[in-house]
Amino acid sequence: MKLKKIVPSLLLFIISGFFLFIQPSCKKIVTQTIIDTFQHAWKPVSILNMNAVSELSSVSIGDSILVVGSNSNYTMMAVNSSAINSTMVYFLQGTYMYSPAYGYPYLGKNLCSFATDSTLNVQSVPVYSQYSSFVYKPVYTPGAYSRFPQTSPYPSNTYPSSAYPVIRNKYLITPVEGYFPNIQKGERFDLISFDSSQILTPYGFGATPTVKSIYVTPAKGTLGFSGSGYFCAAFFNNFFVYYESQFFRIDTLGNVKQFGYLPAPYSNGYGIYNMFTVGNTLFAKSGGILFSSTDQGETWNVFNDFSNTTTVGWLTFRNVGNKLYATIADLNTQLFKVAFNGKNLNFSELNNDGLENSIITSITPCGKFIFITTATGVYYRDTAKFDQLKTPIR
């Protein structure tokens, strides 16, 4: 009796399996959509990145306006607590140069300065009118070798990145001419002062600059000027200039202090193209060597020589608020937070996911965001997450 019940059931099971096997089209196909929740740490500023323009400098005005400079214009962008709004583009008056050697501007909270191949220019931020600026074109000495030198190197290798910084909205300096028949006279720099109130008002009619020519000579015991490098940074109301293998400090009265090839005597070293502060200590970087000054650049010492490491020589140190960061130039978007441990440095690599494979030229906080300018555009993320170490985000 039990066998009769089992056999029909078994037979039905075999027949059903057979039809399922030979008719796969009868199967019900279920498609499941999986949404990838991956979020890049850094996001592009789309309204600035449409044309992949090289953005070379930036500054924050308060906590609501970011100013981004390229080699021919600067853009003002409104930033609020949750979004990035529309932009307004202002062209740098009088410059049509597309070479970063001349074009990348100094950006301040009130004005910008930049050079073309024959003039030095200052204009307001924002531009109130076509008169809210001035153009300085020097009077050259007949027979002298006269030019505005190209700045070097590219902004990713320098900090601060512009060669024409402005002190107290009033002073700036530029090399003008050299190789006089009387070499003892030195090379001419023009120290320019101006009344910024004539630039920074809607009804201003431009400033008339006052020019003081000063002559810079090589330090005693050196072989003189050589090469063509030029770098200028402003700290503690002084200009620090590296010019044709010589390092100088020039104050706003035109007093010059010579240091020679490097800030302090040392057997190794390259040009000075990177300066930064940690508290009240001023640092100058030459290759893998750090020089430090605790008296605002009056005297210098060798802080440490990191030439035997492969890290420091490739880095550009950048002040961001009261913190210190470093970037690597030449098609590398690595970011590091820097901490001092006595005479040594500790580096913590930060999350750079989402940045294009480009070169970083500036880092600027504005409002709740922090912005990075690069050779291909601008990127941002929440400031509270900037120090996040390099780990995937999901």
Token pair 């996040």: residue: 388
Q: Is the pLDDT of residue 95 over 90?
A: no
Lowest pLDDT segment from 130-139, 227-236, 341-350 = 130-139
pLDDT single digits (tens) 279-338 = 999 999 999 999 999 999 999 999 999 998 878 989 999 999 999 999 987 767 899 999
Lowest pLDDT segment from 15-19, 92-96, 168-172, 376-380 = 15-19
Q: How far is CA 203 from the centre of its chain?
A: 33
Give residue 93's pLDDT band: very low, low, confident or very high (50, 70, 90): low
> In the predicted model, what is the mean pLDDT of the chain?
82
Report the percent of the chain where pLDDT is more than 70.
78
Give the C-alpha separation, 53 to 55, whole Å: 6
Predicted confidence at residue 85, as pLDDT, reads 73
Q: Is the pLDDT of residue 201 over 90?
A: no
Pairwise pLDDT comparison (255 vs 182), residue with the higher score: 255
Predicted confidence at residue 7, as pLDDT, reads 45
Predicted confidence at residue 248, as pLDDT, reads 97
Q: What is the 3-state secondary structure (H, E, C) of the chain?
A: CHHHHHHHHHHHHHHHHHHHHHCHHHCCCCCCCCCCCCCCCCEECHHHHCCCCCCCEEEEECCCEEEEECCCEEEEEEECCCCEEEEEEEECCCCCCCCHHHHCCEECCCEEEEECCCCEEEEECCCCCCCCEEEECCCCCCCCEECCCCCCCCHHHCECCCCCCCECCCEEEEEEEECCCCHHHCEEEEEEECCHHHCCCCCCCCCCCEEEEEEECCCCCCCCCCCCCEEEEEECCEEEEEECCEEEEEECCCCEEEEECCCCCCCCCCCCCEEEEECCEEEEEECCEEEEECCCCCCCEEEEECCCCCCHHHEEEEEECCEEEEEECCCCCCEEEEEEECCEEEEEEECCCCCCCCCEEEEEEECCEEEEEECCEEEEEEHHHCCCECCCCC
- Mean pLDDT comparison of 20-24, 116-120, 361-365, highest-scoring range: 361-365
Predicted confidence at residue 121, as pLDDT, reads 85
Q: If you average pLDDT over residues 222-245, what whole number do you get?
A: 89
Whole-model pTM?
A: 0.85
Contact 372, 360 (CB under 8 A): yes
Kindly list the distances between the CA atom of residue 178 and the CA atoms of 115, 134, 289, 347, in Å, as whole numbers in the listed order. 18, 25, 30, 42
Token pair 């605002």: residue: 296
Q: Is the pLDDT of residue 24 over 80?
A: no
Q: Is the pLDDT of residue 32 over 60?
A: no
Q: Is the pLDDT of residue 349 over 90?
A: yes
pLDDT single digits (tens) 98-152 = 454 455 789 998 888 988 777 888 888 887 766 677 888 888 877 666 766 666 6
pLDDT single digits (tens) 45-82 = 887 777 677 888 999 998 889 999 887 888 899 898 77
Kindly list the distances between the CA atom of residue 274 and the CA atoms of 4, 23, 140, 144, 313, in Å, as whole numbers in the listed order. 95, 74, 30, 30, 11
